[in-house]
Structure 1
C-alpha cells in the first residue's frame, strides 16, 4: 500500500496521539492538531490524503470541514474514542490496518 498523509484534529487531546502512533507504525504520516486553524494551514501547505475530526454540528467544525473538502481532501468523522489498546500505546499492526481500511478503502 502507498503511504498516506493524515491530519488529526483532536481539541480534547484524548485520542489523537494514540491514533497518530498507530498510523505511523503502519507506515503512514500523521499530524495531530488541537485546533482547526493550525490543521487547516497544514492541509493548505502539504499534500494530505485525509483529515480525521470528531463529529460535531457546531459552526466551527462545519466551516473547517467545508474548507478541507474544497481543497479536495477527504474528511473522516470520528464519533467515539479509538480502542483503549491504541490509546495506551499498545496498538498492533492489525489495529493500524483496521483504521487504515476505514479511512481509505
Structure 2
C-alpha cells in the first residue's frame, strides 16, 4: 500500500495530498541517509512534521537531489507541497501501511 500523505492546517483538519505525493515521498525516503529526519518516517504507522521540521528536511532533500538526480522531480514536488503547508501554517501528516 505505501505511504499516504496529508496536509493539515493549524487546527489539524486534514486533506489528502494525493497518491502521487505518497509515491514521491516513498522514492525520496529510499534515498535518505540513515540517521536523517527522513529516515525516521515510520513505514507502518504515523509520522507528523511541523514547519520547523520541514525547514530542516529541506536540507536533506537538497542533498538527496544532488546525490540521486533521478529523484529531483520528486524532491521538487515535495518542496511545493511543503510550501502549501507553510501557507496553511500546518503540518505534514504521513500514514504508513
Q: Could you say which structure has the larger radius of gyration?
A: 1
TM-score, L = length of structure 1: 0.27
Q: Which has the higher contact order (CA 8 A, sep 6+)?
A: 2
TM-score, L = length of structure 2: 0.28
